[in-house]
Amino acid sequence: YRAKSSNLRKTKTDAIDAYHLGELYYKEDLEPQKKRGIQLLNLRQLTRQQENMTGIMVQTKLQFQAILDQVFPEYKGVFGDLYAEISLKTLQSYPTSEAVKDAGVEEIAQFINQHCKARSTRWAYERAVKLIAAAKRNPFQSTLYQSLLVSLNMYIDLLQVYHQQLSTLEREINQLAAQLEEYELLQSIPGVGEKIAATIISEIGEIDRFNHPKKLVAFAGLDPSVFESGRFKGTKNHITKRGSARLRHTLYTAVRCSIRDSRKKKTTEETIARNKRLRAFYDLKREEGKPYKVAIIACANKLLHWIYAMLKTKTPFQETI
């Protein structure tokens, strides 16, 4: 299906996309297009649900931490990842300093070892020792308000459920996206992983809707908005921010991941950006005096031009120009 150019700048295209896909499905005998159109809409729905669920989980984590700070703030340093499954299970079983000290090192180490088979017995014992030490440092040696413990247990249950649901969504998204050739193509871009690639594909839809890269840029709302009237010309050249906000924000994330230093060489202190081409472009913009946000937007624009060319020609990303 092909979107009208007038719609790229002034209207949202979800309804239009769905309408054209419906036309393909009901009016034309195009089985490949039918299947592909359904795949794209399903992928869009799943990636948006994943984003919504992630937002809910972030809010739940904030609420959980607020309660934890009133019950057992020292617990945060016991496990490397506070939200790891074994961490949440341990906290749920031993939520207070009193419970930890009553149980003792041996019981806690056995509990951790039993519920985390991937780790060694020694690791479990080390965590138990750290938990005992945290319980001794904890400013709240006893919890006066039972309501805090009820809330803490409730948030742990919610976090575990959300984690399971996100894992299910991620698995479904990967399985669906893997059927689209663009999925592997986009992941050839350093800094673009599975989640970012799936979101970009689902938001762009069919690349044939756009007969010029500038129309795709406009769809993402990354095109400049310059106000001109007579002799007056605006000096602040903001982007329009029309079109798909999710595509725009995903591109920002991709840019930040791409220009970030990924590792150091073993023999030198030199850092290496994940995406050398994009990092070079970012550095150029910064050297020109562009603020950080302006440079990121320019990189997102450049990245989208590359994506357009890759999807049109069906070729992977080239590290060198």
Residue 105: other Cβ atoms inside 10 A: 14
237 CB-contact burial (10 Å; exposed 0-12 / middle 13-18 / buried 19+): exposed
Q: Which residues, 6 or more positions from 23, have their beta carbon under 8 angstroms from its beta carbon?
A: 1
Residue 227: per-residue pLDDT: 43
Euclidean distance between CA atoms 52 and 96, whole angstroms:
32
Euclidean distance between CA atoms 99 and 58, whole angstroms:
28
Euclidean distance between CA atoms 217 and 210, whole angstroms:
10
Residue 228: per-residue pLDDT: 43
Model pTM score: 0.76
Q: pLDDT, tens digit, for every residue of 199-217? A: 999 999 999 989 999 999 9
User: Residue ranges of the alpha helices (H) in the chain?
Assistant: 7-10, 14-27, 31-71, 85-93, 97-115, 121-137, 146-177, 181-186, 194-204, 213-219, 245-259, 276-287, 292-313
pLDDT band at 145 (very low <50, low <70, confident <90, very high): confident
**Whether the predicted pLDDT of 258 surpasses 80:** yes
Residue 318: per-residue pLDDT: 87
Q: pLDDT, tens digit, for every residue of 150-176? A: 999 999 999 999 999 999 999 999 999
Residue 301: per-residue pLDDT: 94
Q: At what angle do helices 194-204 and 146-177 cross, to 10 degrees?
A: 70
Chain centre to alpha carbon of residue 188: 18
**Whether the predicted pLDDT of 23 surpasses 80:** no
* Mean pLDDT value across residues 48-69: 96
Q: pLDDT, tens digit, for every residue of 79-101? A: 999 999 999 999 999 999 999 99
Whose tokens are 């921010």? That residue is 241
